[in-house]
Chain A
Amino acid sequence: SEEKQQRESFSIPKSPPPPQTLAKLRSQQQLQMFWAEQYREIEATTDFKNHNLPLARIKKIMKADEDVRMIAAEAPVVFARACEMFILELTHRGWAHAEENKRRTLQKSDIAAAIARTEVFDFLVDIVPRDDAKDADAAAAAAAAGIPRPAAGVPATDPLAYYYVPQQ
Chain B
Amino acid sequence: MTNGQDNLLPIANVGRIMKDGLPPQAKISKRAKETIQECATEFISFVTGEASERCRRERRKTVNGDDVCHAMRSLGLDHYADAMHRYLQRYREGEELAASLNSSSSAAAAAAAAGSRGGGAIQIDVRAELSIFRSGNNQGRPNN
Contacts and interface: CB of A to CB of B under 8 A. Distances in A.
Interface string B16-28: 1110111101111
Interface in A103-145: 104-108, 110-112, 115, 119-120, 123-124, 127-128
Contacts of A108: 29, 31-32, 34-35
A48 B27 contact: no
Contact of B87 (A4, A45, A94, A124): A45
A9 interface: no
Interface in B54-103: 56, 61-65, 67-69, 72, 75-80, 82-84, 86-88, 90-92, 94-95
Given A48-B94, A106-B22, A83 B28 contact: no
Interface stretch (B45-53, B106-114, B120-128, B129-137): B45-53
A37 to B, nearest CB: 10
A43 B40 contact: no
Given A71-B62, A90-B39, A65 B91 contact: no
Interface in A42-60: 42-43, 45-46, 48, 52-54, 57-58, 60
Contacts of B40: 83, 86-87, 90
Interface of A: 4, 35, 38-39, 42-43, 45-46, 48, 52-54, 57-58, 60-62, 64-65, 67-72, 74-75, 77-79, 81-88, 90-92, 94-95, 98, 104-108, 110-112, 115, 119-120, 123-124, 127-128
Which 8 A-B pairs give the minimum distances between C-beta atoms?
A: A74-B65, A72-B64, A70-B62, A105-B27, A88-B21, A108-B31, A91-B21, A91-B18
Interface of B: 6-10, 13-14, 16-18, 20-23, 25-29, 31-32, 34-36, 38-49, 51-53, 56, 61-65, 67-69, 72, 75-80, 82-84, 86-88, 90-92, 94-95
20 contacts: A58-B44, A61-B9, A61-B44, A68-B52, A69-B61, A71-B62, A72-B64, A74-B64, A75-B64, A75-B68, A83-B43, A88-B20, A91-B18, A105-B27, A106-B22, A106-B26, A108-B29, A111-B35, A112-B35, A115-B39
